[in-house]
Structure 1
Amino acid sequence: METTTRDTLADPRRTWRIPDDRRLPALEPYADDVRRLPSVTVRETLWDTDDRALAFAGIELLHADPLDAPRQVDDAGDGGGDGGDGSSSGGDGGWSVDRGQGPEAVGVPGAPLPRDPVEAVLRGRPVRPVRVRDTTTTLVRLHGRDGRLRAEVADVRVDEGDRDTALLRSARWWALTDDGGPGQVVRAVERAVTDAADDDGRAPGDPVPTLAPVRRPVTGGSERPRPGSAAAFVRGVLAPLRTELLAVDPRVRADSDDVVHAFRKALRRLRSVLAAYRGALDSDLTESLRARLRSTARVAGVARDAEVLRDRVEHTVAMAPSGSVDTAVLDHLRAAAEADRRAAVAALRDELRSGAWFGALDQLDDLVDRAPAGTRAKQDAVAFTTQRIHHERARVRRALDGTDGLPADGLEPLHDVRKAARRLRYALEAAGDVPDVGKRRLGRFRRVQETLGDVLDAEHAAVSYRRLAAAAAESGTDTFGYGVLAMVERRAAEHHLDDARRALGQLHRAVRG
């Protein structure tokens, strides 16, 4: 029985499109040991919404079904009476998601349909089986005299049927995979396959052939903005921001490492662009979207603060006087901070499953796909961008006015300056090739964000330690260690504030220069 695996081989480095039923050439002359494995067929069911939302987004949600135990699916297309969420899917198959770079396993075999990886596209809508795909692979493995696997040639055929129309699409290709080492075997096999295929083949790094993607039909709507106009500029900025947001959404649902920070940053950048460049697109829609995103950002902010505190505990203890924080206090802090983080992230995941979040994504799609015109939609993009950035510079100046660049009345003025500087920075970064309107000072804006962020993080940690101390006191726990940690963070905030004042002084001069 064949036991050699593909683990030592890289991904296919060359593929050939095959337009007919021709057979692979005889490869026995090129290796000491050639083994032809029996063909294996995998059946996959593609799931999607009735309006094919996943297909139009370039995503495939697949369930692999053993052919000897086909899945029972209700003819009505509701997944066997499970409400369209796949909860009654059984068998030994597994779920996967393919975003164009190959399928990635999600969930566990036999489990209900995992919606979270694609919920940002589904947005609460039910899914059902829409197509069935059979992939039949025949492998020929070539071994050297020492028994080592040198190369592998795959003959792959895909047949795909649409459940609604009974249409059938097919594709076939050959693929060569090798062990990465030089050798006559691989070169000879490559020449033989190329000659038999009557095709030069795709070079290394090219994508493996697949069936053509499903394309969204052209529908009516707003006229596309004129190139070079303010509306076209803003639409061009929003499109990649939407892509970034949709990419990070599934990672938040999966609670990936440091993903809340990335999600919060994507929200901030999107909100800043909508605010800084208002007027190019429909104001009612942009302001409504900003309000929806602001609500989600608040929930994400709580989760991020909890994440930062969890990660700061060890650092704060390390800065405290030796012996001032005993093991019991440290263990309680670790557990309490992680519990707070988990609760905050769970609340954020609930927010991402809400109708409010789905509505925000729908509005963002409307802005990008339709680009509804605002009052300044037809203005020249360069003139519009320059004016809006000057407006944002004035906003920063107003935040600094009355403080001489050194806010000292609590944290709120610092926070206001930080938000204004951040919005100006994101507006400048979005400006792209627009003639210089202050982009050379981006480093100063970034420095202000970082230093003020350090102040606010330390202050938040001090407040959190006092809150945890109050909770501990109710259970009769000694709170001396908590007070020490709060004091350490308060001193850290004062130290960071000195750096922030220097950065604010530079910002004060920059926005007036």
Structure 2
Amino acid sequence: MTMPADGPADGPDNLGSALMLRLATGRERLRALAAEAAERPERSVHEFRKELRRLRSVVRLLRGSVEAEPLAAAEAELRGAFRATNALRDGDVLRALLRSTGIGKSNRRVLRRTFAVVGAVPGTSHAVDGENADSAAPVLACAAADAAATLAALEALCGQGVPLNGIALALEQRAQKARRAWRRTGRDGLDPDIHDWRKRVKEVRHSLEWLAEVGLVRPRASRAWARLAKRLGGVTDLLILLERVDALPAEHRRALRRCRKDLRRRVARRTRRLVREYGALMEAGAPAPVLPEAGAPAD
């Protein structure tokens, strides 16, 4: 990736103002989703967490470009908000996994029967077939409020200007982390490596999507990363399901030996395929953001 030339920070009417707008929009989006949680808890929690991921990706682009202390505070608040919503997703995630065609028809049948007997997500108090309406609204409201203050402080810093070369360097560092996770996955194929690879790919994807919105990369730059993130999501879904199965009482785990073995084979096969198919993308990394030329054609 070729870095843009060093130069003065863009003024508040350029990159800094675009970042201010994104952070402000994100704050309002989190508040709106928290307000909807009582009526639509599952969708609100899902969208709330997606918005947190996107905001974290944008905030991480600011490393090295703004003061470290408020940036670290914003990152910590966003991580805390995400962790606060983890339990709300347990039942919803398991229901979605048990509806998935990617686990195989016979596996789906036996797993749904088993979890219907167990009646709850292992390790939590959330029923597999229940909505978390009562708990979702206050949790999201608290998480949105906690994130809002630090994001507002970060907006003020962005208003002082943000250098494009700093954004480019942060993006390249994100791509390098994705490349390292890809190599570890190809070499060892361990579950934590697969999860980490997906996480890093999603960070690059969300960063590129925002950079495309403000015209600093072409829209197509994020598409391959988005496709890979989606396909990796199918693999990590299987891993999450395996974790849920492994948390079942011993008698249920024994009855699901064949199912667990088949799910593990599916994980290994899909992972090998993705490591091979997306090697060129991982080696190439992310494109450098550049200021658009006047009259330049869009994708």
Whether TM-score is above 0.5 comes out as yes
**Cα distance, 1:293 vs. partner?**
1.4
Find the partner of 1:500 among 274, 283, 298.
274
Residue equivalent to 1:226: 12
Find the partner of 2:151 among 343, 353, 364.
364
Find the partner of 2:202 among 408, 418, 422.
422
Q: Against the structure 1 CA distance between its residues 350 and 509, is the aligned structure 2 distance closer, same or farther, given a 3 Å change threshold?
A: same
**Quick one: distance in 2 between partners of 1:506 and 1:408?**
19
Q: Against the structure 1 CA distance between its residues 497 and 292, is the aligned structure 2 distance closer, same or farther, given a 3 Å change threshold?
A: same
**Quick one: distance in 2 between partners of 1:460 and 1:507?**
26
Unaligned runs of 5+ in 1: 1-224
How do 1:133-152 residues align onto structure 2 when only pairs under 5 Å count?
Answer: none
Residue equivalent to 1:395: 177
Q: Against the structure 1 CA distance between its residues 501 and 336, is the aligned structure 2 distance closer, same or farther, given a 3 Å change threshold?
A: same
Q: Does 1:336 align with 2:120?
A: yes
Contact 1:399-1:416 within 8 A present in 2 as well: yes
Residue equivalent to 1:440: 220
**Quick one: distance in 2 between partners of 1:327 and 1:425?**
33
- The number of residue pairs the alignment matches comes to 271
Residue equivalent to 2:51: 266
More helix, by proportion: 2
Aligned AA (1:319): K
Q: Against the structure 1 CA distance between its residues 466 and 360, is the aligned structure 2 distance closer, same or farther, given a 3 Å change threshold?
A: same
**Quick one: distance in 2 between partners of 1:447 and 1:497?**
14
Q: Does 1:511 align with 2:295?
A: no
**Cα distance, 1:288 vs. partner?**
0.7
Unaligned runs of 5+ in 2: 1-10, 288-299
Contact 1:226-1:232 within 8 A present in 2 as well: yes
CA-to-partner distance for each residue in 1:330-353, whole Å, 9 max, x for gaps?
Answer: 6315x3246157597766555335
3-state SS of 2:157 partner: coil
**Quick one: distance in 2 between partners of 1:326 and 1:427?**
37
Aligned AA (1:378): G
**Quick one: distance in 2 between partners of 1:327 and 1:512?**
41
Contact 2:174-2:200 within 8 A present in 1 as well: yes
3-state SS of 1:506 partner: helix
How do 1:395-414 residues align onto structure 2 when only pairs under 5 Å count?
Answer: 395-400=177-182, 403=184, 406-414=186-194
CA-to-partner distance for each residue in 1:408-463, whole Å, 9 max, x for gaps?
Answer: 24122222222222212222111134443x75332221122122221111011122
Residue equivalent to 1:320: 106
Contact 1:320-1:484 within 8 A present in 2 as well: no
Residue equivalent to 1:490: 264
**Quick one: distance in 2 between partners of 1:260 and 1:434?**
30
Aligned AA (2:50): K
More strand, by proportion: 1
CA-to-partner distance for each residue in 1:246-287, whole Å, 9 max, x for gaps?
Answer: 222223344434332211110000111111123444432221
Q: Against the structure 1 CA distance between its residues 363 and 330, is the aligned structure 2 distance closer, same or farther, given a 3 Å change threshold?
A: closer
**Quick one: distance in 1 between partners of 2:59 and 2:131?**
30
**Quick one: distance in 1 between partners of 2:272 and 2:69?**
42
TM-score by length of 2: 0.73
Q: Against the structure 1 CA distance between its residues 307 and 315, is the aligned structure 2 distance closer, same or farther, given a 3 Å change threshold?
A: same
Residue equivalent to 2:85: 300
Find the partner of 1:243 among 8, 28, 34.
28
Q: Against the structure 1 CA distance between its residues 314 and 265, is the aligned structure 2 distance closer, same or farther, given a 3 Å change threshold?
A: closer
Contact 1:242-1:364 within 8 A present in 2 as well: yes
Q: Against the structure 1 CA distance between its residues 321 and 340, is the aligned structure 2 distance closer, same or farther, given a 3 Å change threshold?
A: closer
3-state SS of 2:85 partner: helix
**Cα distance, 1:386 vs. partner?**
3.4
Contact 2:98-2:111 within 8 A present in 1 as well: no
Residue equivalent to 1:378: 161
Q: Which has the larger radius of gyration?
A: 1
**Quick one: distance in 2 between partners of 1:486 and 1:246?**
40
Residue equivalent to 1:467: 247
**Cα distance, 1:232 vs. partner?**
2.2
Q: Does 1:288 align with 2:73?
A: yes
Contact 2:34-2:141 within 8 A present in 1 as well: no
Contact 1:466-1:483 within 8 A present in 2 as well: no
CA-to-partner distance for each residue in 1:193-248, whole Å, 9 max, x for gaps?
Answer: xxxxxxxxxxxxxxxxxxxxxxxxxxxxxxxx6312x4323212222222322222
**Quick one: distance in 2 between partners of 1:460 and 1:408?**
19
3-state SS of 1:320 partner: helix
**Quick one: distance in 1 between partners of 2:168 and 2:49?**
27
